[in-house]
């Protein structure tokens, strides 16, 4: 009897370490953050718990532009990475032969360099008088006032570049797992190349695209490094707002409220996205 009960509990022991980790480092800070967002006060006089929900309304009205901009930037960057990464993953999975791992390594190589250093190098490369634009301007190919930095393009391009492997790897794994006999079966059943791609390869790789979307869209939307390094005053993202409000202005309640809203928006967005795509299918296929 005793032994059976211990046996039944065994699976929970497996969950325990991870569960504790999440409880301590995610649930507790989230609760604290929620609590802080409902406090009033300042750094000098201290904060008191007032349960003033007005701060959420303030946050939305004040930073509406940045919220929307972040979602748009995140979405554009994510869609662009899908468009860039999918064909590449497809090629590596189906046509790279035995050099698959070499190509994958090649794609990942730049990402061994620190995120910040990579972004700063972009700034160096794309500077108004940098090695790229400067030379083109000297050659008279570009007008003297042409610039890339401090534009939305620069920020989105940076996001696209920095999150590329998070899209490529899950798509690659999904494509790699497709049984080549399914492609032969489609071919045998009169599907032309396009038919094989749209009716078999694409649906079967959706779990990878779904995972890549999550792994790219969430951090890209809340990113602040790209907007900070490559952007200007008109490209501020919500991540920058949180950073400034928290570290510079020390307005902890407002910073917490903005973070909370961002989290809620992303969760709702993902939920809707999963619904549209059909989570059941995605999960079923990934456990095939």
Q: Give the Cβ contact number of residue 286 at 10 Å.
A: 16
- Least gap, CB of 206 to another protein (angstroms): 8
* Residue 174 binds another protein, judged by CB under 8 A: no
Closest to 258 (Cα-Cα) out of 46, 58, 65, 25 = 58
Strand (E) or helix (H) holding 74:
helix 54-95
By CB under 8 A, name the one of 108, 136, 141, 189 that touches another protein.
189
Query: Within 13 Å, how many C-alpha atoms sit on residue 3's CB side?
Result: 0
C-beta of 5 vs 280, nearer to another protein: 280
Binding mask 204-243 for another protein (x = CB under 8 A): x---------------------------------------
From 27-35, 195-203, 249-257, 264-272, span contacting another protein (CB under 8 A): 195-203
- Least gap, CB of 184 to another protein (angstroms): 6
What CA–CA distance (Å, rounded) separates 175 from 164?
17
Closest to 54 (Cα-Cα) out of 37, 41, 67, 42 = 37
For the stretch 255-267, what's the b/e string if a residue is b when 16 or more beta carbons lie within 10 angstroms of its beta carbon? bbbbbbbbeebbe
What CA–CA distance (Å, rounded) separates 256 from 271?
22
By CB under 8 A, name the one of 55, 200, 237, 266 that touches another protein.
200
Binding mask 101-140 for another protein (x = CB under 8 A): ----------------------------------------
- Least gap, CB of 70 to another protein (angstroms): 33
CA dihedral 155, 156, 159, 162 (to 10 degrees): -90
By CB under 8 A, name the one of 20, 185, 268, 272 that touches another protein.
185
From 31-39, 46-54, 122-130, 179-187, span contacting another protein (CB under 8 A): 179-187
* Residue 169 binds another protein, judged by CB under 8 A: no
* Residue 156 binds another protein, judged by CB under 8 A: no
Q: What is the separation of C-alpha 131 from the centre of its chain, rounded to a whole number of angstroms?
A: 30
Which 5-34 positions form the footprint of another protein (CB under 8 A)? none
Closest to 198 (Cα-Cα) out of 207, 189, 186, 185 = 186
By CB under 8 A, name the one of 54, 184, 267, 272 that touches another protein.
184
By CB under 8 A, name the one of 9, 51, 190, 275 that touches another protein.
190
- Reduced to 3 states (helix: H, G, I; strand: E, B; else coil), residue 251 is coil
CA distances from 56 to 61, 62, 257, 260 (A): 9, 10, 6, 9
Which 263-282 positions form the footprint of another protein (CB under 8 A)? 281
- Reduced to 3 states (helix: H, G, I; strand: E, B; else coil), residue 128 is coil
* Residue 97 binds another protein, judged by CB under 8 A: no
Instruction: Give residues in contact with another protein (CB under 8 A).
Output: 179, 181-182, 184-192, 195, 199-200, 203-204, 281, 284-285, 288
């Amino acid at each position: 009897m005793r032994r059976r009960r211990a046996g039944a509990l065994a699976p929970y022991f497996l969950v325990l370490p991870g569960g504790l980790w999440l409880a301590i480092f995610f649930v507790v800070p989230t609760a604290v953050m929620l609590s802080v967002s409902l406090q009033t006060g300042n750094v000098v006089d201290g904060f008191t718990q007032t349960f003033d929900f007005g701060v959420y309304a303030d946050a939305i009205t004040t930073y509406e532009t940045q919220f929307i901009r972040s979602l748009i930037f995140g979405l554009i960057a994510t869609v662009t990475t899908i468009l860039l990464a999918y064909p590449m993953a497809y090629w590596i999975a189906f046509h790279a032969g035995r050099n698959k791992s070499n190509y994958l390594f090649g794609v990942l190589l730049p990402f061994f360099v620190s995120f910040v250093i990579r972004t700063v190098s972009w700034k160096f490369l794309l500077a108004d008088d940098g090695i790229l634009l400067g030379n083109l301007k000297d050659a008279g190919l570009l007008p003297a006032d042409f610039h890339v930095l401090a534009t939305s393009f620069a920020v989105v391009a940076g996001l696209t570049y920095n999150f590329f492997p998070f899209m490529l790897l899950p798509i690659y794994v999904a494509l790699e797992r497709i049984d080549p006999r399914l492609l032969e079966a489609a071919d045998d059943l009169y599907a032309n190349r396009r038919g094989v791609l749209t009716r078999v390869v694409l649906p079967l790789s959706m779990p990878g695209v779904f995972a890549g979307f999550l792994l790219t869209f969430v951090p890209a939307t809340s990113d602040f490094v790209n907007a900070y390094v490559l952007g200007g005053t008109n490209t501020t993202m919500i991540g920058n707002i949180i950073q400034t409000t928290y570290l510079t202005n020390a307005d902890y309640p407002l910073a917490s409220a903005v973070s909370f809203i961002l989290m809620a928006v992303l969760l709702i967005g993902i939920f809707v996205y999963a619904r549209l795509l059909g989570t059941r299918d995605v999960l079923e296929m990934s456990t095939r």
